[in-house]
Structures are given as structure tokens and as C-alpha cells.
Amino acid sequence: MTNKKYTIVTYGCQMNEHDSEKISWILETMGYKWTDNKEESDFIIYNTCLVRENAELKVYGQLGALKDLKRKNPDLILAVCGCMMQQEEARDIILSKYKHVDIIFGTGNIHKLPQLISRYHQINRTVVDIVEDNREIVEDIEANRKYSFKAFVNIMYGCNNFCTYCIVPYTRGREKSRKPENIIKEIEDLAKKGYKEITLLGQNVNSYGKTLGYDYSFANLLEDVNKIEGIARIRFMTSHPKDLSDELIQSIAKLDKVCEHLHLPVQSGSNKVLKEMNRKYTKGDYLTLIEKIKNAVPDIAISTDIIVGFPGETEEDFNETLDLIKKVRYDSAFTFLYSVRKGTIAAKMENQVPDEIKHERFQRLLDTLYPIFYEENLKYADKIVEVLVEEVSKNNENVLTGRTRHGKLIHFEGSKELIGNLVNVKVEKIKSFTLEGSII
């Protein structure tokens, strides 16, 4: 195959971003080359998300817009994969209204893409391949990674928690941990290639190891990854508060490469809402955890996910969330308006919160969070921070951007040869979402 080009459009979380890096690797081993331009693509693939409604609607919009392109270029292959395709209803909509889509597959069978493409060529009509829950983890797909110095590494797949608002356990199946030796081997290979920062990915990394059949925890994994020469920074996402053990807190504190940043989604500060969400902790439990982690790692940066307007959320419940935010003093947060995800338990709850109340609370949530982000950033004024240089700023080619160990985005002047290196930067200016400084 010569000169075939592909485009991947990715929606959603880091898990999807990393899946797209794997799809890219598969397509490139088949001889395809990347292009940003859909007009010159021979293969366009949408890797979809179901967590937010607007991501879903965007996909339909984009697919509709591609009808013309497909008419002009009948050889163009159009594929849709990812979480949306795990849902029968979304598949049916594509099959009935977007008949120009050629290949549909799910989250558990990315490795089958070459077979699906040849099957499509054989039968010349839409190929659908979905596995509800992959029992075996497929190890032999590599990833064509976006960066050459920081990498996502899956440590587990799926989720067993069934938070009542969340579609992920239905789209990604039951929790399964990769074998530690496979993870370590992948990271050792990355270290040999010069990678410095690793983000360990899973829906609930704190429960890593439970499906292995022997005694090996996430804390053990962190210890083993910490030993890998060449790796300077270890991050991980996402931690569920119910599984954040004392052992893990101690590992975060003692392991030098584990960054001083914890993403610990709280979702709500109301005990009633937390119960309805099936989160299995109370506001008090969460605050105790925060106290423990701050005692163990005093300068730790804490980020979170918060949902506003979960069914039945009253003004009082919402005020509990605001109160919790003021107590924890987050460094950053992903904020969400609750949206009904069909198939989840919360979708059937009757006391849905009206949109205007959700929006009004959302604004108050941001008004509470933003000053705290700014005040927390003030701690870094005049400090010297270690930064992994990531890219040239989009607005100014003399300015570089990177991240500190605490996960703070920082801008500073420098030449692009520094990308991928660790540098020391003196912080000179503080904003709510970024820092500015100079290399020293």
C-alpha cells in the first residue's frame, strides 16, 4: 500500500487519547501516513466518548458533514469506534442515519482493525464488530505516541464501581489489571527511548492488582516503576477516594519520582448525593483522606472532578459542595453539569434538576473555585520549580510551555531545542490557571 493517508479525531478522556495512539500505530504499520486534512484522507476514524452529551452530538454533526466527501471519494473508508459504539442505541443511529460509515468497532477490539478493514474490502458494506467485555488483555499493540518524552501507559482497563451517573462500566467492561511485568517492560522500553515522564492510566488505579490472582497492589507497582532508570516523573490517573489506602499514601510520600499531585475526584460534597451516586464515601471520609495526604506530602497539589445538578441535588446539598471546596482548597478541577447518560441508574431518577438551576450553580461553583486556584498558585511566587518542557506556546514562538511536578502549566522564554528536557524555572508571575517565569 502506498501513499494512503489517515486522520483520527479523538473525543474524551486520556484513555481515549491513548487508544487513538494505538490506532495510529496500527494504521502506520499498515502503511498509512498521518494527515490533518480530511479532504486528502483515505481513512478517517472517529474515536468517540459518551461521558458528555456534547461530544456525542458533535460526532453526529461531523459524520453528517462527511457525506459529501464520501460521495466525492468513494474509496474513502470512514470508521467510528470508542465508547459511543459500545452502546446499541448509538450504533443503531449510525447504521440507520449515517449509512456512509463503513466500519464500527468498540473499545475492546482495537487490535482487530486490520481484519476489519480487509473484511470491509471483501463485503463492501458496513462492518460492525463489538465485544461487550474483553476477558483477555491484548498485549501486542504498540502506540504511536504524540510526545517523545512523556507517555501514557495503561495499567488496567474497565471499572467495577458503577457510580450511578457514569456510563464507563457499561462501555469499558469489568476491571482488569495488566500484569506488572508487561507494564514494567513497556516503561523500561520507553525509558530506553528517552521518555522521562509516565502517566499510569486506569479508571481506578488505586484498586490495581485485584484481578491478578496474587498479592500485588498499586503501591507495589509504583515502587517497581520508581526503580526504572531514566524515568524522572511518575503520574497516575484516576484515583477513587474509597480505595486510597494508607499504604498508597506512604508510597506517594516516599517515592522520589512520584509527582506531588493527586487527582482525587470528589463529585459532590453532600453525603446524600454521594450516597445516591454510589461513591461509597462521605464528605467526612474525603476530608480525612485529604488531611492524611497533606500530612504525608505537605506541598501536594490536589485536583478533582465535580458534578453539579445530580438528580435530587438541593441548594443545601450544593452548599455542602462549596463548603468542601473551601476546606480542601483545590489546585484545579474539572467541572461538569450533570447530564443524563442512557442506561445508567441516575438516568431513571425522577428528580432531575432543571437546566437553569444547574447553570446557575455551575457559575457559583466556578466563582468559588477560581479565587482558590489563584491563591494556591501564590505559594509558588519566587520559587524555583522543575519543569518538563513540552512545547512552543501557541501565541508566541519564543515562549515555551511545560509542567511542574505539581502539574502546574508554566510559560517562560526559551528555545525549542529544550523541548523534552527538565529545566529549572523561577516563578515570576501568578495567574489562576498558569504560572510565568524565567529559566535559571
Question: Which residues fall in the annotated binding site for [4Fe-4S] cluster?
Answer: 13, 49, 83, 159, 163, 166
The one among 240, 263, 341, 406 contacting ligand SF4 by CB under 6 A: 240
- How many Å apart are CA 132 and CA 151, to the nearest integer? 28
Stretch near ligand 5AD under the rule CB under 6 A, chosen from 184-192, 275-283, 335-343, 396-404: 335-343
DSSP structural state of residue 5: E
Q: 157 to 216, contacts with ligand 5AD by CB under 6 A?
A: 165-166
Which residue, 169 or 309, is less far from ligand SF4 as judged by CB?
169
Q: How far is the CB of 277 from ligand SF4 (least distance, A)?
A: 8
- How many Å apart are CA 97 and CA 58, to the nearest integer? 15
Q: Is residue 158 close enough to count as binding ligand SF4 by CB under 6 A?
A: no
Which residue, 232 or 337, is less far from ligand SF4 as judged by CB?
337
CA atoms within 13 A on the CB side of 367: 7
Q: 396 to 425, contacts with ligand SF4 by CB under 6 A?
A: none
- How many Å apart are CA 243 and CA 159, to the nearest integer? 13
- Torsion region of 120: left, alpha or beta (phi above 0 gives left; psi -120 to 50 gives alpha): alpha
Q: Is residue 346 close enough to count as binding ligand SF4 by CB under 6 A?
A: no
Cα 434 to the center of its chain, rounded Å: 20
- Please choose which of ligand 5AD, ligand SF4, none residue 162 contacts, taking the beta carbon within 5 to 8 angstroms, the exact cut-off set by kind: ligand SF4
Q: Which residues contact 176 (CB under 8 A, 6 or more apart)?
A: 134, 135, 137, 156, 157, 158, 211
Report phi then psi at 303, rounded to 5: -120, 170
- Please choose which of ligand SF4, ligand 5AD, none residue 336 contacts, taking the beta carbon within 5 to 8 angstroms, the exact cut-off set by kind: ligand 5AD
Give the CA angle between residues 305, 311, 316 to the nearest 5°: 80
- Please choose which of ligand SF4, ligand 5AD, none residue 368 contacts, taking the beta carbon within 5 to 8 angstroms, the exact cut-off set by kind: none
Q: Any idea of the CA torsion for 200, 438, 424, 150, to the nearest 10 degrees?
A: 20
- Please choose which of ligand 5AD, ligand SF4, none residue 339 contacts, taking the beta carbon within 5 to 8 angstroms, the exact cut-off set by kind: ligand 5AD
Task: Say how many residues make up the chain.
Answer: 440
Residues that contact ligand 5AD, how many (by CB under 6 A): 11
Contact pattern from residue 306 through residue 345 relative to ligand SF4, giving x for each residue in contact according to CB under 6 A and a dash for the rest: ----------------------------------------
Q: Is residue 278 close enough to count as binding ligand 5AD by CB under 6 A?
A: no
Q: How far is the CB of 104 from ligand 5AD (least distance, A)?
A: 23
In the sheet with 150-154, reading across from the earlier edge strand, the strands are 150-154, 197-201, 233-237
Q: How far is the CB of 279 from ligand SF4 (least distance, A)?
A: 8
The one among 16, 20, 41, 161 contacting ligand SF4 by CB under 6 A: 161
Q: How far is the CB of 422 from ligand SF4 (least distance, A)?
A: 31
Which has the closest alpha carbon to 177: 148, 137, 147, 126? 137
Stretch near ligand SF4 under the rule CB under 6 A, chosen from 156-164, 290-298, 354-362, 367-375: 156-164
Instruction: Give the C-alpha distances (Å, rounded to integers) separating 171 from 58, 168, 367.
Output: 19, 5, 34
- Please choose which of ligand SF4, ligand 5AD, none residue 374 contacts, taking the beta carbon within 5 to 8 angstroms, the exact cut-off set by kind: none
Instruction: Give the C-alpha distances (Å, rounded to integers) separating 74 from 40, 78, 102, 111.
Output: 12, 10, 11, 25
* Strand-pair partners of 233: 197
Q: Is residue 168 close enough to count as binding ligand SF4 by CB under 6 A?
A: yes
Query: Which residues contribute to the site for ligand SF4 (CB under 6 A)?
Result: 159, 161-163, 166, 168-169, 203-204, 240
Which residues would be at the binding site for ligand 5AD (CB under 6 A)?
51, 165-166, 265, 267, 305, 307, 336, 338-339, 341
